[in-house]
Amino acid sequence: MGRIRHLSLDCGPGCPVEGTLQLIDGKWKGVVLFHLLTGSLRFNRLRRQLQNCMQRMLTNQLRELEADGLVHREVNAEVPPKVEYSLTPRGRTLEPVIMALKTWGEAHVLAPDA
């Protein structure tokens, strides 16, 4: 199921929030999860959608999301290899969180005076 970042979430009322934020922390993880909500994407398509993200950074973020059980990596034996990324069932459960972040950002980051 991926890495266990918390041995126990009984450290206090905010601990589950901290645990969730640790899973989606990273400059690009939330954006990657957002784009994968629409379905599976190949690496280069994701990279084009995250224009300011370096290839190595995207690779690292995808590896961490995969290790945490949020993203599935499918390699099809073709030449050249076709690699697709999609949300796992666990990753899909983050949809309300990601959409809430999007809604909040539209209201408070894109329109800070609102």
DSSP class per residue in 27-64: TTHHHHHHHHTT--EEHHHHHHHSTTS-HHHHHHHHHH
d(Cα 62, Cα 58) in Å, to the nearest integer? 6
Quick one: pLDDT at residue 17?
A: 84
Give the model's pLDDT for residue 111: 73
CB-based contacts of 44, cutoff 8 Å, min separation 6? none
- Position of tokens 């949020």? 70
Size (the chain), residues: 114
pLDDT tens sequence for the chain (114 residues): 445 444 555 667 678 888 888 889 888 999 999 999 999 999 999 999 999 999 999 999 999 999 999 999 999 888 888 899 999 999 999 999 999 999 999 998 877 665
Residue 68 pLDDT: 94
Distance, in Å, from the CA atom of 45 to the CA atom of 79, rounded to the nearest integer, reads 18
As beta bridge partners, residue 85 has 41, 73
- The domain spans of the chain are 16-108
Q: Give the CATH class of 16-108.
A: mainly alpha
Per-residue tokens: 35: 């784009």
